[in-house]
Structure 1
Amino acid sequence: MLKSYFKIAWRNLWKNKAFSIINIFGLSVGIAFTLIIGAYVWGELRVNHDLKNADRQYIILSKWRDPNQGVDIASVDALPKALKANYPNLVAGYYSFNGITSIVTKGEKSFRESMQFGDSTLLNMYGFKLLHGDVKTALTDPLSVVITQRIALKYFGKTDVIGQTLNFQNFTGSKHDFTITGILQQLPKNSVTNLNDSNNSDFFFGQSSNTFWGFTVNNWNNAQWVSYIELKKGIDPKIVEKAMRELLAKNATPQVAKDLTPYLVSLKDYNLTADGGVAKKMIVTLSAIALFILLMAVINFVNICIGRSSGRMKEMGVRKVLGGLRKQLIWQFLVESVLMVLFATMFAVIIYLVARPYFSSVLGREITGLFAFPVYIIPFLLLFVLMVGALAGIYPALVLSALRSVDAIKGKLTAVKERVFFRKSLVAFQFTTAAIVFIGAIIVSKQISLFFGNNLGYNKDYIVYAQLPRDWSAAGVNKMEVIREQMAQMPQVSSVSLSYEIPDGANGFNSPVYRQGASQAQAVASQILMDDNQYASTYNIPLKAGTFFKPVYQAADSTLVAINETQSKALGWNRPEDAIGQKIMIQQGNTAVSYTVGGVTADFHFGSLHERIKPIIFVNVNYYVAYRYFSFKLKAGDIQQSLTAIQKKWAELIPNAPFEYHFMDDALKKLYTTELQLKKAAYIAAVLAVIIVLLGVLGLISLSIQKRTKEIGIRKVLGSSVSGITMLFLKDFLGVVIIAGLIACPLAYVIMQKWLNDYVYRIDLSLSPFVISVASLTMVTAVLIALQTIKAAFANPVKSLRNE
C-alpha cells in the first residue's frame, strides 16, 4: 500500500510540474538559507570549545576606572605568572603574549606578518598539536620560532620544514635568522591564536627570545599584554579575581592598582561577549532573519498545498465511490506533502554545498561543511520533513476525505467553506516579513554609508598607507624623515606623513592628562597619537587655532603638542585660542611630564562611530621615537600609475621591506567588519524574502486563475475588458500587500531604532526606506499578478467555458 501511495504522489507531482517546481524551489531556498545561517551560528557557538580543558580556561580582562585609559583585552604583564607562583592551589597554568608585526624574509620573499611574543606554555596549555616538532621544546630555544601550516606552505611550499630558517627584523632595525622548531596544524578559530579580526597570529616566540626583541617582561606597570589562565578543578573564578586584586595592590603602582580592576571571562563564553557582544548580536540578528525566511517558505508551501488540494475533489469522490477508505485518502495527502518536503530538503542540501563558499566570504567566517555537523542533525532534518509535510497535508487530508462522495464528484465544498481569510492572513505575514527585511537592509546600508562618508572630520580620499620597517631610535626616525621628504617630492604625491597611528581606532597608548597646576584627580584620560608635522595636512584635519608642530623639528620643540577640540574643552578651555601656549601634564608611568599646547585641531573620528570622539593629544614622533606608517596623499589622476611609481621609489629607498599598501577605506572596512557582514547578509535575506513572496504569489494567483477559468470566460462573453478582469485579481492581493505594509512599517521602525541606538553617531530615520520598500513590493507584486491574469483574460472564452 505504501508503495502505491508514493507512486500516485509522484504521478501527481509530475502532472502538475509548474506548481511542484514553484513549491519545492521556494521551500528549498528557505531551508538552504536556514542551514547556512545555522552552520554559521553553530560554528560561532563552538569557538574555544575544542581547547584542552576548555571549561577551566579563562582570559584576564581589565575594567578601567575611565574607559579611555585602556582597552579591556589588555592586562598587567606580570599578573598571570605571579598568580601561578603565589596561588598554585588555584591556578593550573598561564599564558600571556604581546601581539606584534614584523618583516619576515626568506630569500627573495619579504612580508609583514602578525606574531605573538609570549610564554612557552602555549602549546601544552591548550593542547595545540604540531604536525612536526616537539611540543615540549618547540618554544624554549632563544632563536626558535613555531609557525602555522599556512605559513610553511606560503614560504616553503611544504609543511615538513623543521630546521629551516626565517629572517626577522626587530624594533631597532636589526635582523636575525630564527630556526623553525614546530609546525602548528590548521587550528579552528579560537581566542588565543586568533584573538580578534586584527590579531591573527601565524608566528610564535617564547620569552627566551627576548634578547632579540627587547621587550620589558614581568612588568607590574605595563598593562598592554593579553593574558590567560587555567584554573584548577572546582575553583570559583571569584576567588581568583580577589587574588588578582591583592597582587595588584601589593606589586603595582598605586595609580595602576586604583585605575584597573582585573576580572575573568571563560574562554567558552568570550567569543560571544567580546567587543560589546558583537558576535552575539550578529548571531541573534541572523538567526531571527533565517527563522523568518524559513517561516515564510513553510507558509508558502502550506498555502499552495492547501490551495492546490481543492482542485482534487473529483479525484477524491471517484476514489471513495470505488471503495477507497478515508484513512487511505488521508495517508495519500500526507505522503504527497512529505515527499515534496523531502525533495525540497534534498535540493536545499545541494544549494548549501554550492552557496557555502560564497556565504563564507560574505560572513567572513568559514561555514562548516556538511560532514562536520554532528550526527544528531540528521534526525532533526527528518523530523522537520515530517512536521512540515504533515502541516501542509493535514488540512486537505481531513477536509476533503470527509466530503460526501456526491459533493466531491460535483466539485463542491458544501459542508466546508474554503479558508480564504486564513490563506490571505498567511500571505500578509509573508509580505510583512519581506517588507521588514527590505526596510532593514536599506537602513543598514544608509548607516554604513555614514561610516565611509565625508563627515569623518578628515579627508580619506586618495590616502594610501603602508607599514614601515622598524628602527625605533632617534637615528631611525631621522632616517625615515629624510625618506619621507624624498617621497613627498614625487610628482604623484601631495604629501607624506610619518606616524605611529592611522585613523582606525588603534592608538599607541592612553594616559591621564591634566592642566599644569591642577591636581592629578582632575586628569582626563586621553588618546596619545605619535606623528610628524605633516599628519594634519595629509589627512586634511582642520586647525582651529595655532600650528600643528613646527615646519622643521628641533629638540627644543620636543614637548610641543597639538590637541583636539574635545581635549581642549575637557581641560577647561572652551575657545581653541585659549589653549594655545598653555602647559599640560601627561602622566608617564610614575612621573608627569610637562608639555606646551601649540595647536588645536577640529574634532575628527579617529575610531568607530559606536563611540563619542575622545580627547586626543598629538605628540611629535621625533620625541617618542616610535612609528609604524607612511601615509601618502596622492594627487588626482591615474591612481595605479601613481602607486607603481611609489612602489619603485620605495624599493629604491627602503630595500628588503615590502610595499604592502592599503587605502583608508580598507582600514575602515576592518573597523566595521561586523556591520559590513550584516549589510551583505541583510541584502541576501531581502532578496530571498522577495523571491519567496513572489513565488508564493505566483503559485496562488495561478491556482486562483485555474479555479476561476470558467468565471473569466463568462465575464468576457458578457463584455468584461481585459483590464477589468485584471483589476478583479489585483484587488484580491494588493489589499493584502497594503495592509502588510501598514503593519510592517511601525515594526521595522521599532527594530531599526533599537539597532541604531548602538551608535553614538547615526542617521536619522526618514520616510524613504519605508516608502521605497512597500512601494517596490507592491509594484513587483502587481506586475506579476497582471502578467498572469492578462494571459488568462486573452484566452479564448469558448475554451474557458469548456473548462469542465
Structure 2
Amino acid sequence: MLRNYFIIAWRNIIKNRFYSTINVLGLSAGIAFTLLVAAFVWSQLQVNAHLKNADRQYIIQSKWKNPGMGQELTTIEKLPEALKREYPHLVANYYHWDGVTTNVSKRGKVFREGLQVGDNSFLSTYGFKLLHGDATTALTDPFSAVITAEKAKKYFGRTDVVGETISIENFSGSKHDFMITAVMDDQPANSVITVNEDNANGIFLPFAAAGYLNRQVEGWDKFYLVGYWELQPGVQAAEVDRAMLQLVRAHAPAFAAENLQPYVVSLKEYYLSANDGLIRKMLYALSATAIFILLMAIINFINMAVSRSSSRIREIGIRKVMGGLKQQLIGQFLVESILLVFFAMLLAFFLYVISTPFFNAMLGTELPGLGSFPVYFIVYPLLLTLVIGIMAGIYPAFILSSLKSADAVKGRLASIKENILLRKSFLGFQFVTAAVVLIAAYIINQQMNLFFGRSLGFDKEFVIAAQVPRNWSAEGVERMENIRKRFESMPQVQNISLSYEVPDGKNSGTIDMYNAGADSTSFSTAQTLFTDERYAQTYNIPMAAGVFYTADGFATDPQKVVVNESQAKALGYAQAADAIGRQVRFSGWQSVFTIAGVTKDFHFGSMQQAIQPAAFLQVKLIRVYRYFSFKIKPGSMATSIEAVEKEWAALMPGSAFEYQFMDDRLKLLYKSELRLQKASMAATVLSVIIVLLGVTGLVSLSVQKRTREIGVRKVLGSPVSSIIRLFLKEFLGVMLVACMVACPLAFMMMQKWLNGYAYRIDITVLPFLICIGSLLVITALLIIAQTIRVALANPVKSLKTE
C-alpha cells in the first residue's frame, strides 16, 4: 500500500510540475537559509565550549565606579596568583597574560605578530591539543615559544618545527631567538587565544619573556593584563567575587581599592555577554529573522497545497466510488505532501553546501560543514520534514476525504468555500514578514552609513595605519620623527603622524586631569591619546580653539596638551576659547601643563557610547608610540602604497610594512552590526523571492480556475485592463492590509534596536514609503505579467476550458 502511495504521489508531482517546482523551490530556500543561520548560531554557541573543564573556566572583569577609570576587560596583575595562593579551596588553576605586537622574523620573512606573554600553565589549564612537543615543559625556558600550526606553516612551511627558532624584536629594537618547544593545533575561536574580535594570538611566550620585551607588567599597580581562573568543583562565582574584593582592598593602591570591584564571568557566557551582550543580541536578531523566513516558506507551501487541493475533488469522488477508504485517501495526501517536503529538504542541503562560502564571506566566519554536526542533529531535519508535510497535507487529507461521494464526483464543495480567508491570511502573513524585513534592512543600512559616514568628526578617507618597530626612548622617538620627515617629503604622502593610538576605539587608558589652581579631588577623567603635532592634520580633526600643540613651523613643547570639547567642559570652560592657555595638572604628576588647543568632539570609539572627554599628550613626553598614520594624496592608491612600502624598507629594514585602511579598522568596531546588516540584506532578498513565488503560484491557480469566467467577461465586452484589475484587486487588498500591520511592527522593532546607540539616526517615513512602495510595485508587475496572457487570449479557447 505504501509503495502505491509513493507511485501515485510521484505521478501527481510530475503532472503538476510548475506548482510542484514553485513549492519545492520556495520551501527549500527558506529551509536552507534557516540551516545556514542555525549553523552560525550553533558555531557561536560553541565558543569556549571545547576548553578543558569548560564549565569551571572564568575570566576576570573589572567594574570601576567611573567607567573611564579603567578597562573592563583587564585586571590587576597580582590578583590571579594571589587568589590561587590564599584561597586554594576556590581556585584550581589560574592564567594571566599580557598582549603585545612586535616584529617576528625567520629566513628573511618578517611579519608583525600578536604575542601572548603568559603563565606556563597555559597548555595544561585549557587542554589545547599539541601536534608536537610536551605541554608540561613547553614554556619553562624564558626564550621558548609555543606557536599554532598556522604560524608554523607561515614561517616554515610545515608543522614539525620543534627545535627551530624564530627571531623576536623587543621594544628597544634588539632581537633574540626563541626556540619553538611546541606546536598547537589550530584552535576554534575562544576567549583565551582571541579575547576580542581583532586580537587573535598565534605565538605564546612564557611570562619570564616580559623582561626581555621591556614590559613592566608585575605588581598590584598594573591594571592591563587579562586574567582567568579555573574554579574548584562546586565553587560559585559569588564566592570568588567576595574573595577578590578582599584582596583588592588589602593589597591594591588606594585608587583601585576605592574604585575597583572585580568579578568573574564564565567563559561559556563571556563571548555572548561582552560589549553589552552585542553577540547575543545579534544571534537573537538573526534567529528571529530565520524563523520568520522559514514560517514564510512553510506558509507558502501550505497555501499552495490548500489551493491545489480543490482541483482534485473529482479524483477523490472517483476513488471513493471505486471503494477507496477514508484512511487510504488521508494516507495518500499526507504521503504526497511529505514527499514534496522531503525533496525540498534535499535541495536545501544542496543549497547549504553551495552557499556556505558566500555566507562565510558575508558573516566573516567559517560555518561548519554538514559532517561537522553531531550525529543526533539528523533528527531535526527529519522531524521538520514530517511536521511540515503533515501541516501542508492535513487539509486535503481530512477535509476533502470527508466529502460525500456524489458531491465529490460532481466537483462540488457543498460546505467548503475553498478557505479563501485562510489563504488570504497566509498570504498576508508573508507580506507582513517581507515588509518588516525589508524596512528593517533599510534602517540598519542607514545606521551603518552613519557609522562610516563623514559624521565621525574626523576624515578617514585615504588614511592607512601601520605599526612601527618600537624603541621607547628619547633616541627612539627622535629617530621616528626623522623617519616621519622623510616620508613627508614623498610626493604621494599628504600628511603623516606618529602616535600610540589610531581612532579605532582602543586608547591607552584614562588619566585624571584638573585645573592647576584647584583641589586635586575635583578632577575629571579623560581618555589619553599619545600623538605628535601632525595627528589632527592627518585625520583632519577640526579645532574648536587654539592649535594642536603648536603652530606650524614652531618647535613642539612637550608640556603643551590638547583636549577635546567634552574635556574642556568637564574642566569648567563653557567656551572652548576659554580653556586656551589655562594650566592643568594630572593626578600623580608633578608637572604643570598648558592647554594649547581644543579639538571638536569626534568619535574615537563606537557610537554605542557617548563621546568621552579626551586629552592629547605629546609622544616626546611619554615616549610611547605604535603607529605611523599616512594620509595618502588622491590618485592611484596602489601605486602610492607601493612607493611608501619601498621607502619603509629603506628607512626601517627588517621591519614588516603591514598596513590597514582606517575603514577596515573601523569595521572591527562594528563587526556584529555589519554581520547583521549583511544577513538582513540576504533575508530581505529571500523573503521577497518567497513572497513572489507564493504570489506566482496563487495567481496561476486563480487564473486557471477563472479562465472560463475571463472568457465570458471578454465576450460581454470587458477590456483587458478590467480583467487585470480583477486580479490586482484580489491580491493588492491583502497587501495593503499587511503593510498597515507591518509598519508599526517594524517601527517598534527598529526603535528598540536603535536605542542601543548613543548616536543614531531618526526613523522617518521615508524607509516605509520606499520599502512598501517597492514591494507593492514588484507584486503588481508580477500579477500583471501573469494575467495579461490569459486576458489577451481568444475567449473561444477560454470558454472551452474545463
- Using the size of structure 2 for normalisation, the TM-score is 0.98
Q: Which residue of 2 aligns with 1:83?
A: 83
Q: CA deviation at 1:259?
A: 1.7
1:787 is aligned, of 785, 788, 797, to: 785
* Paired residues of 1:472 and 1:627 also in contact (CA < 8 A): yes
Q: CA deviation at 1:702?
A: 0.7
Most deviating of 549-558 and 84-93: 549-558
- Cα distance between partner residues in 2 of 1:576 and 1:320: 90
Q: Which amino acid aligns with 1:772?
A: I
Q: Which amino acid aligns with 2:528?
A: I
- Cα distance between partner residues in 1 of 2:673 and 2:146: 34
Mapping for residues 419-498 of structure 1, pairs under 5 Å: 419-498=419-498
Assess, with a 3 A threshold, how the Cα gap between structure 1 residues 555 and 117 changes in structure 2: closer, same or farther. Answer: farther
1:199 aligns with 2:193: no
- Cα distance between partner residues in 1 of 2:745 and 2:773: 17
- Cα distance between partner residues in 2 of 1:609 and 1:492: 32
1:722 aligns with 2:717: no
**How far does the alpha carbon of each residue in 1:658-677 deviate from its partner, in whole angstroms, 9 at most, with x for none?**
22122211111111111111
- Cα distance between partner residues in 2 of 1:644 and 1:382: 55
Q: Which residue of 2 aligns with 1:699?
A: 697
Q: Which residue of 1 aligns with 2:151?
A: 151
Q: Which residue of 2 aligns with 1:616?
A: 614
* Paired residues of 2:458 and 2:602 also in contact (CA < 8 A): yes
Q: CA deviation at 1:87?
A: 1.1
Q: CA deviation at 1:314?
A: 0.9
- Cα distance between partner residues in 2 of 1:455 and 1:32: 38
Q: Which residue of 2 aligns with 1:282?
A: 282
* Paired residues of 2:71 and 2:509 also in contact (CA < 8 A): no
Most deviating of 366-375 and 677-686: 366-375
* Paired residues of 2:533 and 2:556 also in contact (CA < 8 A): no
Q: CA deviation at 1:544?
A: 1.9
Q: CA deviation at 1:558?
A: 2.0
- Cα distance between partner residues in 1 of 2:520 and 2:287: 49
Secondary structure at the counterpart of residue 495 of structure 1: strand
1:672 aligns with 2:681: no
When the two chains are superposed, the root-mean-square deviation of aligned CA atoms in Å is 1.4
- Cα distance between partner residues in 1 of 2:697 and 2:151: 53
Q: Which amino acid aligns with 2:654?
A: N
- Cα distance between partner residues in 2 of 1:218 and 1:108: 34
Q: CA deviation at 1:554?
A: 9.6
Mapping for residues 6-17 of structure 1, pairs under 5 Å: 6-17=6-17
1:778 aligns with 2:776: yes
Q: Which residue of 2 aligns with 1:142?
A: 142
- Cα distance between partner residues in 2 of 1:752 and 1:257: 41
Equivalent residues, number: 802
Mapping for residues 220-369 of structure 1, pairs under 5 Å: 220-369=220-369
- Cα distance between partner residues in 2 of 1:514 and 1:205: 40
Q: Which residue of 2 aligns with 1:639?
A: 637
* Paired residues of 1:541 and 1:604 also in contact (CA < 8 A): yes
Q: Which residue of 1 aligns with 2:63?
A: 63
Q: CA deviation at 1:210?
A: 2.7
Q: Which amino acid aligns with 1:587?
A: S
Structure 2 gaps of 5+ residues are: none
* Paired residues of 2:83 and 2:91 also in contact (CA < 8 A): yes
- Cα distance between partner residues in 2 of 1:555 and 1:510: 27
Assess, with a 3 A threshold, how the Cα gap between structure 1 residues 517 and 728 changes in structure 2: closer, same or farther. Answer: same
Q: CA deviation at 1:207?
A: 1.0
Mapping for residues 65-144 of structure 1, pairs under 5 Å: 65-144=65-144
- Cα distance between partner residues in 1 of 2:9 and 2:756: 52
Q: CA deviation at 1:553?
A: 10
Q: CA deviation at 1:238?
A: 1.4
Secondary structure at the counterpart of residue 563 of structure 1: strand
Q: Which residue of 1 aligns with 2:178?
A: 178
Q: CA deviation at 1:260?
A: 1.2
**How far does the alpha carbon of each residue in 1:250-269 deviate from its partner, in whole angstroms, 9 at most, with x for none?**
11111111121100111111
Q: Which residue of 2 aligns with 1:164?
A: 164
Secondary structure at the counterpart of residue 557 of structure 1: coil
- Cα distance between partner residues in 2 of 1:555 and 1:681: 52
**How far does the alpha carbon of each residue in 1:318-341 deviate from its partner, in whole angstroms, 9 at most, with x for none?**
111111111111110000001011
Q: Which residue of 2 aligns with 1:377?
A: 377
- Cα distance between partner residues in 1 of 2:777 and 2:734: 13
Q: CA deviation at 1:551?
A: 5.5
Most deviating of 128-137 and 456-465: 456-465
Q: Which residue of 1 aligns with 2:34?
A: 34
Q: CA deviation at 1:450?
A: 0.7
Q: CA deviation at 1:799?
A: 2.0
Q: CA deviation at 1:52?
A: 0.7
- Cα distance between partner residues in 2 of 1:802 and 1:760: 67
Secondary structure at the counterpart of residue 111 of structure 1: strand
* Paired residues of 1:533 and 1:551 also in contact (CA < 8 A): no
**How far does the alpha carbon of each residue in 1:523-578 deviate from its partner, in whole angstroms, 9 at most, with x for none?**
21211100101111111111222221135899992221111110000010111122
Most deviating of 525-534 and 451-460: 451-460
* Paired residues of 2:97 and 2:207 also in contact (CA < 8 A): no
Q: Which amino acid aligns with 2:212?
A: F
**How far does the alpha carbon of each residue in 1:351-397 deviate from its partner, in whole angstroms, 9 at most, with x for none?**
11111122122112221221221222222221111111111111111
* Paired residues of 2:723 and 2:791 also in contact (CA < 8 A): yes
- Cα distance between partner residues in 1 of 2:379 and 2:238: 41
1:603 is aligned, of 601, 604, 619, to: 601
Secondary structure at the counterpart of residue 687 of structure 2: helix
**How far does the alpha carbon of each residue in 1:17-72 deviate from its partner, in whole angstroms, 9 at most, with x for none?**
11001000100111111111111111111211111111111100000111111221
Q: Which amino acid aligns with 1:88?
A: P
Q: Which amino acid aligns with 1:710?
A: R
- Cα distance between partner residues in 2 of 1:119 and 1:341: 55
- Cα distance between partner residues in 2 of 1:551 and 1:728: 75
Q: Which residue of 2 aligns with 1:660?
A: 658
Q: CA deviation at 1:473?
A: 0.9
* Paired residues of 1:337 and 1:389 also in contact (CA < 8 A): yes
Q: Which residue of 2 aligns with 1:690?
A: 688
* Paired residues of 2:434 and 2:687 also in contact (CA < 8 A): yes
* Paired residues of 2:531 and 2:618 also in contact (CA < 8 A): yes
Secondary structure at the counterpart of residue 669 of structure 1: helix
Most deviating of 144-153 and 579-588: 579-588
Structure 1 gaps of 5+ residues are: none
Q: CA deviation at 1:433?
A: 0.5
Identity, in percent, stands at 52
* Paired residues of 1:48 and 1:189 also in contact (CA < 8 A): yes
Most deviating of 431-440 and 364-373: 364-373
Mapping for residues 17-56 of structure 1, pairs under 5 Å: 17-56=17-56
- Cα distance between partner residues in 1 of 2:66 and 2:501: 22
Secondary structure at the counterpart of residue 41 of structure 2: helix
- Cα distance between partner residues in 1 of 2:180 and 2:158: 13
Q: Which amino acid aligns with 1:356?
A: T
Q: Which residue of 2 aligns with 1:796?
A: 794
Secondary structure at the counterpart of residue 454 of structure 2: coil
Q: Which residue of 1 aligns with 2:750?
A: 752
- Cα distance between partner residues in 2 of 1:403 and 1:355: 45
Mapping for residues 389-408 of structure 1, pairs under 5 Å: 389-408=389-408
- Cα distance between partner residues in 2 of 1:215 and 1:396: 75
**How far does the alpha carbon of each residue in 1:206-253 deviate from its partner, in whole angstroms, 9 at most, with x for none?**
112233112223310111010001111111221211111111111111
- Cα distance between partner residues in 2 of 1:508 and 1:618: 11
* Paired residues of 1:505 and 1:607 also in contact (CA < 8 A): yes
* Paired residues of 1:440 and 1:752 also in contact (CA < 8 A): yes
